[in-house]
């Protein structure tokens, strides 16, 4: 069963502005030393706050330095101060499919205070939609056994995001940080890394938790094929709104709007898995979404007892909208990786956040320099017709604003963290190659800028859009 937000678990995963030395793991703030609440659960590893360098001040006579010890690791080394992920496929096989796994092994050389991961068996395949068509490929790694990876909770499934189109290399990283500031039940943790695949350096990647149902991820009741009636039939379900419309079980609900699909909003079920979900479960969740949407678009939708608030976890829908809007991510209006979930006996909950690269903080794509980007997204056009909902969004934005205003400083920290990695990455990859997927035009508008200039633009757009939100709400 979903246990809700547990303070210890929320504060376990490292992140934040408080520790400028490592603004990388998300979603939660690095605990202050004097805070007695911020303690890792006993069954989880303690936090991996960056190791501080020893005091090297000379005391007494200076002795001749000993010759440096040779690193016994004979694998390819990438000197960027980021952890190095080594993946070696069996026989050096290439990875050409998004559906067929290739047997492999993976190990991680920890840096910056991270523990290394000894070599373990895994399998790997491609992933993504448009991103899979680009030269720098994203991957899904499936470990044979659950492992703690770079301080994150044990799991088998991990994603390596390529960030090919992102000249700043930090759109996903920053977006997950913003998400972690809210009350959303789970934000994927992530760490920037270098990827070495079959002995070849492939560049800067973001190692991130995959969206999965799990006690430490989307924490909802796990269903069985026997859960076909009564309370058991009500959850848990993980839903994705996806205009690509290429999922095993999917439908279009006639209520609301989506840029990429006519006639309504595309829904799909990500959990239960396609090979386990029963017809009764399909019928239930499809009908449930129709019923909820019917209430939202009904005449009595704003009634606090029998309107949308009876069916939606309103706080989550408020915070979810704020994350997308603050980051100028128009994908909420054209959903491709928009997630909702429903636990057994519970309301429909928005989240988690995922996939913040295409057009994020780019007025070139979103037009967010003068207007809200997602004011009419999916069900939100209707929800904003309720003065109480709009007031709740406004109050929540103002409550979060002091934290949100720290993000530009966080971007500066990320620039320092990623600087060496970016230099090597962009010697190999040209982000402007994304234009092949956008009618010959670059997507974010900063693909031809320098790493530094692109980050300055990102910060400027972020600050300006915060002002737009405050003025328009």
Say how far apart CA 220 and CA 345 lie, in whole Å. 11
- 3-class SS letters over the chain: CCCCCCHHHHHHCCCCCCCCCCCCCCCCCCCCCCCCCCCCCCCCCCCCCCCCCCCCCCCCCCCCCCCCCCCCCCCCCCCCCCCEEEEEEHHHCCCCCCCCCEEEEEEEECCCCCCCEEEEEEEEEECCCHHHHCCCCCEEEEEEEEEEECCEEEEEEEEEECCCCCCCCCHHHHHHHHHHCCCCCCCCCEEEEEEEECCEEEEEEEEEECCCECCCCECCCCCCCCCCCHHHHHCCEEEEECCCCCCCCEEEECCCEECCECCCEEEEEEECCCCCCCHHHHHHHHHHHHHHHHHHCCCCCCCCCCCHHHCECHHHHHHHHHHHHHCCCHHHCCCCCEEEEECCCCCEEECCCCCCCCCCCCHHHHCCCCCCCCCCCECHHHHCCCHHHHHHHHHHHHHHHHHHCCHHHHHHHHHHHHHHHHHHHHHHCCHHHHHHHCCCCCCCCCCCCCHHHHHHHHHHHHHHHHHHHHHHC
Say how far apart CA 362 and CA 168 lie, in whole Å. 12
Mean pLDDT of 295-305: 97
Cβ burial of 299 (10 Å; 0-12, 13-18, 19+) is: exposed
- Residue with tokens 């101060």, as numbered in its chain: 81
CA within 13 Å, CB half, 113: 18
Say how far apart CA 98 and CA 236 lie, in whole Å. 26
Beta bridge partners of 238: 271, 341
pTM value > 0.85: yes
Residue 221 has pLDDT above 60, yes or no: yes
For the chain, the straight-line distance linking the first and the last C-alpha, in angstroms and rounded, comes to 36
Residue 24 has pLDDT above 80, yes or no: no
Q: Could you count the other beta carbons within 10 Å of the beta carbon of residue 91?
A: 8
**Residues 171-207 pLDDT 10s:** 999 999 999 999 999 999 999 999 999 999 999 999 9
pLDDT for res 336: 87
Q: Which residue has the higher pLDDT, 194 or 47?
A: 194
Give the Cα-Cα-Cα angle 184, 189, 192 (nearest 5 degrees): 140
Residue 49 has pLDDT above 70, yes or no: no
Residue 346 has pLDDT above 90, yes or no: yes
Sheet holding 265-271, edge to edge: 250-253, 265-271, 237-241, 338-342, 348-350
Confidence of residue 260 (pLDDT cuts 50, 70, 90): confident
**Residues 57-101 pLDDT 10s:** 223 323 334 444 445 678 999 999 999 999 999 999 999 999 999
Q: Is the peptide bond before 27 cis (omega within 30 degrees of 0)?
A: yes
**Residues 157-173 pLDDT 10s:** 999 999 999 999 999 99
Cβ burial of 454 (10 Å; 0-12, 13-18, 19+) is: buried
Q: Could you count the other beta carbons within 10 Å of the beta carbon of residue 88?
A: 19
| Greatest CA separation for the chain | 85
pLDDT for res 354: 97
Can you read off the two tokens belonging to residue 313?
């976890």
């Amino acid at each position: 069963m979903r246990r809700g937000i547990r303070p210890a678990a929320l504060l376990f995963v490292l992140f934040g502005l408080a520790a400028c030395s490592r603004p990388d793991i998300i979603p939660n703030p690095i605990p202050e030393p004097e805070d007695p609440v911020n303690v890792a659960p006993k069954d989880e590893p303690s936090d991996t706050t960056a190791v501080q360098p020893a005091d090297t001040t000379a005391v007494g006579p200076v002795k001749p330095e000993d010759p440096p010890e040779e690193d016994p690791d004979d694998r390819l080394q990438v000197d960027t101060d980021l952890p190095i992920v080594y993946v070696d496929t069996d026989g050096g096989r290439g990875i050409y499919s998004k559906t067929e796994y290739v047997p492999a092994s993976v190990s991680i050389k920890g840096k910056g205070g991270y523990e290394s991961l000894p070599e373990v068996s895994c399998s790997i395949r491609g992933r993504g939609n448009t991103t899979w068509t680009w030269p720098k490929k994203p991957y899904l790694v499936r470990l044979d056994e659950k492992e703690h990876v770079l301080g994150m909770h044990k799991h088998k499934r991990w994603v390596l995001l390529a960030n090919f189109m992102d000249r700043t290399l930090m759109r996903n990283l920053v977006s997950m940080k913003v998400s972690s500031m809210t009350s959303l039940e789970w934000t994927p943790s992530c760490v920037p890394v270098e990827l070495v695949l079959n002995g070849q350096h492939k560049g800067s990647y973001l190692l991130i938790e995959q969206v999965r149902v799990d006690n430490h991820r989307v924490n909802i009741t796990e269903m069985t094929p026997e859960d076909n009636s009564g309370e058991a039939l009500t959850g848990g379900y993980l839903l994705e709104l996806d205009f690509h419309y290429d999922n095993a079980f999917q439908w279009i609900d006639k209520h609301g709007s989506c840029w990429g699909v006519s006639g309504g909003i595309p829904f799909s079920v990500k959990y239960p898995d396609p090979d386990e979900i029963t017809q009764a479960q399909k019928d239930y969740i499809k009908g449930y979404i129709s019923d909820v949407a019917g209430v939202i678009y009904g005449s009595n939708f704003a009634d606090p007892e029998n309107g949308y608030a009876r069916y939606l976890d309103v706080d989550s829908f408020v915070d979810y909208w704020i994350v997308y809007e603050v980051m100028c991510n128009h994908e909420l209006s054209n959903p491709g990786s928009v997630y909702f979930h429903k636990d057994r006996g519970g309301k429909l909950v928005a989240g988690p956040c995922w996939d913040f690269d295409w057009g994020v903080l780019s007025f070139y794509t979103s037009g967010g320099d003068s207007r809200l980007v997602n004011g009419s997204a999916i069900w939100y056009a209707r929800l904003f017709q309720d003065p109480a909902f709009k007031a709740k969004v406004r109050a929540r934005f103002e409550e979060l604003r002091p934290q949100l205003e720290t993000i530009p400083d966080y971007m500066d920290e990320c620039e320092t963290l990623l600087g060496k990695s970016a230099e090597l990455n962009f010697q190999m990859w040209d982000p402007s190659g994304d234009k092949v997927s956008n009618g010959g035009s670059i997507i974010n508008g900063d693909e031809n800028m320098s790493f530094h200039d692109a980050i300055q633009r990102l910060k400027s757009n972020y600050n300006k859009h915060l002002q737009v939100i405050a003025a328009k709400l």
